[in-house]
Amino acid sequence: MTLTPSEERERRYFPRVNYRAYATLTTTKKKFDVHIVDVSFNGALAALVRPHDLTPGEEIILTIEASDDNLIKMQGKLAHQRDHMLGIECRALGIDNQSRLRELLKTESERANERSVTTMMDDHERRQ
């Protein structure tokens, strides 16, 4: 997949955060249960294990079940698919959803950093 220069810049501005959650992907015709693999301010990677007839460019609403029992609703389109993995280009709908998404990304980034530091310290101690 070739990206335009603006897409490359946007990709740098919106890094993805590993985040596992249940979500609902809604099209104009159907609703699918999906599993979120990672998420950013402008998209998500989701796994859909049952057969589907989704096509790239199709408009969607993605509703993520956040760990604090809040829902994060995002609107966009299916950017690409490979096997059961769906690349979704989307943005949070409204200020409340944007705030919840920002908080989720901040929290998950901090957790990832803590895990990295802990792993490095454990590795260092094992080598001693």
Give residue 58's domain range.
Answer: 5-127
Q: What is the CATH number of the domain that holds 11?
A: 2.40.10.220
What's phi and psi for 116, nearest 5 deg? -65, -45
**Do residues 61 and 26 make contact, with C-beta atoms less than 8 angstroms apart?**
yes
Whole-number Å distance between alpha carbons of 62 and 120: 35
Q: What pLDDT, in 10s, does the model give residues 1-52?
A: 455 555 544 554 567 888 899 999 999 999 999 999 999 999 999 999 888 8
How many domains does the chain contain in total?
Answer: 1
For the residues of 56-106, what is the DSSP string, one character each? TT-EEEEEEE-TTS-EEEEEEEEEEEETTEEEEEEEE-HHHHHHHHHHHHH
Q: What is the pLDDT of residue 60?
A: 96
Inform me whether the pLDDT recorded for 128 exceeds 80. no
